[in-house]
Each structure stands twice: as C-alpha cells, then as structure tokens.
Chain A
Amino acid sequence: MSAAGRVPDARWRPAELVFWAAAVAVYFVFPHHLVLASQILITGLFALSLDLILGYAGIVSLGHAAMFGSGAYAAGLLAHHGWGEPVSGLLAGGAAGAALAFATSFVALRGGDLTRLMVTLGIGLMAYEVANQAASITGGVDGLSDVAMGKLLGLFAFDLGGRTAYVYSLAVLFAVFCLSRRIVNSPFGLSLRGIRDRSARMPALGAPVSLRLTAVYTVAGGIAGIAGALLAQTTQFVGLETLGFSRSADLLIMLVLGGAGWLYGGMVGAAAFLVAQDLLSGMNPVYWQFWLGLLLVLAVFFVPGGIVGTLAGAQLRRLEARR
C-alpha cells in the first residue's frame, strides 16, 4: 500500500502522539546531547519542507539548500547587524526562503523531471556562487560569525548546552508541522497529490496546476528558510555549506530513506542519518560515505517506501487483514 491510495484523514493517530512525546522526552533523557538533538530537529524541519514538494507534489529538487541558506543568511545578517530578537529573525528567514522560492518557481517548475532537476541544481549552485562572491556581506568561505542572539521572548538566553535551542527548535518544528499537516489534509493538499500522480488530468478537474505548484513551492521555500534561520540562530554561525550541493543531496537521501509522502519520513530519516553519522564519526568519513551510498542503492531496490512508508504499509495491511 503506498501513500497514493490513502484518503486524507486528519485525525491524530496514537503513533503520532508517541513520536512527539519521544521528542519531548529527549530533553530529559539525553541532556548532554541536546546540540545534536537540535540539529536533528532543524534538519527534520528542512526535510519536512522537501517532503511537501517531493512527497506530495512530486517535484524532484536538487537545489533545496538555496532556500535553506537564504533563510540562514537573512537571520544571520539581521543578528550580525544588531537585530538579535529571535522570533522576528525567524520570520525574516522564512520570508527570505519564500521570496527566493517564489521568484525561482517560474523557472524551476517548468518542464519534466530531468529539466526540473537540472534547473533546481543550477539555482542551488548559483546561490552558492552569489554567497561566495559577495564575501563583503556574507563573509565568503570564512562564514558569518558574530551572530549575537538576544534572549528568546526576552526571557531565555541561548546556552552552550543547547537547552534553549532544543526547546525553541522543537516548538518551531511542531508549529510548522501542524501547519503542514493541515495543508496536506486540505482539498489543496489533495489536489497536489492529484498533480503528482496524474498532472495531465488535473486541469480537466479544474485544478490550476502551475498555480498550485507555485503555491506549494513557495510555502516549502518558506519552511526551508525558517529551518535555515533556526540553524543560524542556534549555532550563531552561518557557513557557505548551508547553500552547498551536498546539503541538498543529503536532504534528499534522508527524506527518501525515511519515506517521502508521510510528513514524518523526513524527521525519522534526519534522526537516523544524523545519529548514524555521529556514531560513525570516529571512523574515517570516507567509510561513512561508502555505507551511505550502499544503503541508498539497497533502499532503492528493496525498501522503496522508506522507513515510515514500510511501517505504515505493514500497519495498513494488518488493518486490512482484520477486516
């Protein structure tokens, strides 16, 4: 059973409550690993934004880091020049990501899969080059440091242990997740799935295909921008690699290994990816890359739905059998 056969059902399932309870529990169970845990939440948020366009609308993108990086630089530059208030910086990051996504959607969404892949790749590479060349503004390869953050809501300072960062990231992730959940379960979200599965027939149902795609691409860009801003604020640094090709490629890998088209897949994939990378970081990074590549090849052949897709598929089959 694939995601394609489901009818939207906005009720919260028990497994979802367990997931969020676990995310809260991490704060108390792993107090010394909150920096990594915040990275996972931020990357999960980034993967959620890719899931909206890839898992639901079927847009394959190899340049999603452009939106992430523009959000990171927007929030980072604001704080760098003295505006350290976190929530407004976050919104500015989201606005930057959404603006870039909207502006590029007219070129990125035309043509078939290969054209989209190449154009998004080109946009990502150009964004990287822009940040690299504008070193007087972005700090170039040295990155943007001196990102001084104010207290969150005027009450909580960002600490070295990452406690504030974790709670902040989790709150933002949950809020954006609820919004995304609302979007994909709405008639708009259903029309996106229709476009993904049979884009030629959707105009016959009266769905304005390119308008819908532009809308979801912009929303996803905004979420990616928020994720980038979160990273800039919690690490108080913005590097060029926020825009790099490998960030886009790794993101795609996480989402697909986790399972695209379920909203949770990206977060599960990000957690699995970053925890594995952290555990194996004692090893030569080259080996990590090798096993990652092998995992990807095997997943394409044997686990096409990813982790969440396989689990959900098994559960659906159990329910069918019970009927």
Chain B
Amino acid sequence: MPGSLPGVLFDGVAYGSLLFLISVGLSVTMGLMNFINLAHGAFAMAGGYVCAVAMNRLGIPFVATLPLAFLAGAVAGGILESLLYRRLYRRSPLDQVLFSLGLTLMSVAAATWVFGPGSQPVHLPDFLLGQVRVAGVDLGAYRLFLVAVVSLIALALIASLRMTKAGARIRASVDDAQAAAGLGIDVGRVFALTFTLGSALSALGGALSIDVFGLDPTFPLKYLVYFLLVVVVGGSGSIAGSLLASMVLGVLDVVGKYYVPQIGAFVIYGLMIALLLLSPGGLRRMAR
C-alpha cells in the first residue's frame, strides 16, 4: 500500500477504472431498456473464473486469458439475452429485480459448487509486478497497466459511439426507442448487441479485477452496490457519466478506507443517497 497521497489517489483511479469497465455495460443497458439487472456482476465473475481456470489449470499466460474472458462474457450475455432477458423488457421493475436476483443466487451457488468457496489465486507476469517510479511517485505496475487498458477501451467506446453508424443507432435508441424504431432502426438488435458487448466488457473487467477485488463466489453480491452506484451516480445510458462516476467513487472509496477506515463505508452510501436526491438523473444531468 503506497503511503503518499498521490499514490493513494492513483490507487483510487485504478480502482475506478475497473469499476468503469465492469459497470459501463450495465449503465448502457439500463439506459436503453430500463432493465434493472442485478445479475450484471455475475458476468464479471464469469470472466474472472474463465481467466483463473485458463491460467491456473491450462497454463495459459495471464494476458492471453483476457480475450478469452471477453469472449466468454459475450457468449454468455448473448445467449441469456436472447433466451431470457428479452422477454422481460416490458415487465415491471419488480419482476426484473426478482429475475436477476434469482439469476445472481444461481450464479453464486454454481460458482461455489464448481470452484469451491475459496478465493482464486492470480499469477501476474513479471512485467506487471513491482513498482514503477513515475514523476517521483512509486506506482504499482499492474495498476498502471489497468489504467492504460481501461483508458484505451474508454476512448474506443466513446469514439465508436460518436462516430460510427452503430454508435448512432445506439444513441438514437437510448434517447427514444420508439422514435428510433419508427426510423427503421432494429431496436431489438441494438438491445441484443449492447447487452452482449456490455457483458463482454464486464467479463473482461472481472478478469482484470482478480488482483484488486479478489475473486470468490460471492463476488456478484459483494460488489453489486458499487456497480449500481456507478449507474445511478453517472446517470444511466451515459458512457462519459459512468467514467466520471467510477473515478469519483473509486477515489473516494480508496481515500475514505485509507484515511478514515471507521466511516469509509458511510462516505460511499451517504454520497449515493445525497446525489440521488439532489439529481435523480445522475451527474450527467447535473452537468447540463
């Protein structure tokens, strides 16, 4: 644990970038379909287990397991969306909460059954171990790697949403699904595509987070609050909002737990409630 303020802040940024990677899909699907998906963390956990199994049992190097985790998340998300989620878009929020809660419980039980209740080890390659000295501050090499990867992904996401035709379709569907359908956009396909991509990113985040969050079967419940926080604080459907919210939450959480461990948890929950009441639409709405 780095002792200096810049080191702690950087840790918070690394923590926040993981939160962003896992939660951005949840935010976009909530903005698109108003679907309250409590099972989103299960996709992250699935990615984490794919990475752990590929690494520890099959001997595949860590960096090479990351695309595998991404793919596994995409496949799981795509299948579940077309079989189950799709049927519940028009149902009440309570039904969606119960369905996704049921799915979460099943995923926790299944993970315990297959992998046992303990946490999974991760073996990082040598170049990601140790500290790197940047501008006089010692930073963890792995955390630098995390921030770099997530920055690239965030840039790619924002750019493709702004500049590509698929991105324009997604933005149109988020703003007004009915009008978008009237313009000939296949909204159902846009839903399926974003859900799949969101699950894949979440799984990638889960794989990258083993070293930071740890990985055990309670993962989807343990971090659920944080993922939901990113969405409500950032405003659903907004990538830039999610990024900002993730960074704020990550830094506040790490700083809070480091300097004032007694009230660390209150900082986050109190911030959430205050933000929800001040600005129900999230930070994005506030900035406008």
Q: Are chains A and B native binding partners rather than an unrelated pairing?
A: yes
A binding-site residues for B, Cβ under 8 Å = 54, 60, 62, 107, 110-115, 117-119, 121-123, 125-126, 129, 133, 245, 249, 252-253, 256, 286-287, 289-290, 292-297, 299-301, 304
Proximity bits, B55-80, A CB within 8 Å = 1, else 0: 00000000000000000000000000
A123 to B101, CA, bound (A): 19
**Sample (8) of A-B pairs whose CB atoms are under 8 Å apart:** A60-B97, A114-B36, A117-B93, A129-B265, A286-B113, A289-B106, A290-B109, A297-B106
Is B102 part of the binding interface, using a Cβ–Cβ cutoff of 8 Å? yes
Contacts A115-B280, A118-B228, A293-B104; A252 near B272 (Cβ below 8 A): no
Q: What's the least CB distance linking A210 to chain B, in Å?
A: 14
Is B110 part of the binding interface, using a Cβ–Cβ cutoff of 8 Å? yes
B105:A293 contact, CB within 8 angstroms: yes
> Among the listed A117, A256, A294, A300, which residue makes an inter-chain contact with B88, where contact means beta carbons less than 8 Å apart?
A300
Is B269 part of the binding interface, using a Cβ–Cβ cutoff of 8 Å? yes
Contacts A114-B36, A286-B112, A292-B105; A252 near B276 (Cβ below 8 A): no
Is B149 part of the binding interface, using a Cβ–Cβ cutoff of 8 Å? no
Residues of A within 8 A of B236 (CB): 114
A260 to B110, CA, bound (A): 29
A125 to B277, CA, bound (A): 17
Contacts A119-B276, A121-B225, A125-B265; A300 near B36 (Cβ below 8 A): no
B99:A297 contact, CB within 8 angstroms: yes
Contacts A118-B232, A300-B88; A133 near B99 (Cβ below 8 A): no
Is B258 part of the binding interface, using a Cβ–Cβ cutoff of 8 Å? no
Residues of A within 8 A of B280 (CB): 110-112, 115
> Among the listed A110, A112, A129, A252, which residue makes an inter-chain contact with B266, where contact means beta carbons less than 8 Å apart?
A129
A294:B97 contact, CB within 8 angstroms: no
B binding-site residues for A, Cβ under 8 Å = 30, 34, 36, 84, 87-88, 91, 93-95, 97-99, 101-110, 112-113, 117, 221, 225, 228-229, 232, 236, 262-263, 265-266, 269-270, 272-273, 276-277, 280
Contacts A129-B266, A293-B103; A300 near B112 (Cβ below 8 A): no
A295:B93 contact, CB within 8 angstroms: no
Contacts A287-B109, A293-B106, A297-B103; A256 near B98 (Cβ below 8 A): yes
A125 to B273, CA, bound (A): 12
Residues of A within 8 A of B272 (CB): 118-119, 122
Q: What's the least CB distance linking A308 to chain B, in Å?
A: 16
> Among the listed B88, B93, B103, B110, which residue makes an inter-chain contact with A114, where contact means beta carbons less than 8 Å apart?
B93
A290 to B109, CA, bound (A): 5
> Among the listed A54, A294, A300, which residue makes an inter-chain contact with B95, where contact means beta carbons less than 8 Å apart?
A300
Contacts A122-B273, A300-B98; A290 near B105 (Cβ below 8 A): yes
Closest to A111 in B: B280
Interface centre among A107, A253, A286, by most chain B C-beta atoms within 10 angstroms, is: A286
A83 to B276, CA, bound (A): 40
Residues of B within 8 A of A113 (CB): 36, 93-94
Contacts A115-B232, A301-B87 known; list 15 others, CB within 8 Å: A107-B273, A114-B30, A118-B232, A119-B273, A122-B225, A125-B269, A133-B263, A253-B101, A256-B94, A256-B98, A289-B106, A290-B109, A293-B102, A293-B108, A297-B99
Closest to A130 in B: B266
A252 to B101, CA, bound (A): 10
A304 to B92, CA, bound (A): 11
Q: What's the least CB distance linking A152 to chain B, in Å?
A: 38
Closest to A256 in B: B98
A296:B276 contact, CB within 8 angstroms: no
Residues of A within 8 A of B94 (CB): 54, 60, 113, 256
Residues of A within 8 A of B262 (CB): 133
Residues of B within 8 A of A126 (CB): 265-266, 269-270
Closest to B263 in A: A133
Contacts A125-B265, A294-B106, A296-B99; A114 near B87 (Cβ below 8 A): no
Closest to B271 in A: A122
> Among the listed B95, B110, B269, which residue makes an inter-chain contact with A304, where contact means beta carbons less than 8 Å apart?
B95
Q: What's the least CB distance linking A105 to chain B, in Å?
A: 13
Residues of B within 8 A of A299 (CB): 98, 102
A121 to B110, CA, bound (A): 25
Q: Which 5 A-B pairs have the closest CB atoms?
A: A296-B102, A293-B105, A290-B109, A293-B106, A113-B93
Interface centre among B262, B276, B280, by most chain A C-beta atoms within 10 angstroms, is: B276
A286 to B277, CA, bound (A): 38
Residues of A within 8 A of B107 (CB): 293
A123 to B84, CA, bound (A): 31
Closest to B229 in A: A118
Residues of A within 8 A of B229 (CB): 118
Contacts A297-B99, A297-B102; A290 near B113 (Cβ below 8 A): yes
A111:B98 contact, CB within 8 angstroms: no
A54 to B94, CA, bound (A): 9
Residues of A within 8 A of B269 (CB): 122, 125-126, 129
A294:B102 contact, CB within 8 angstroms: yes
Closest to B117 in A: A286
Residues of A within 8 A of B101 (CB): 249, 252-253, 293, 296
Contacts A114-B232, A300-B88; A295 near B102 (Cβ below 8 A): yes
> Among the listed B87, B97, B99, which residue makes an inter-chain contact with A117, where contact means beta carbons less than 8 Å apart?
B97
Residues of B within 8 A of A107 (CB): 273, 277
Residues of B within 8 A of A122 (CB): 225, 269, 272-273
Q: What's the least CB distance linking B76 to chain A, in Å?
A: 15
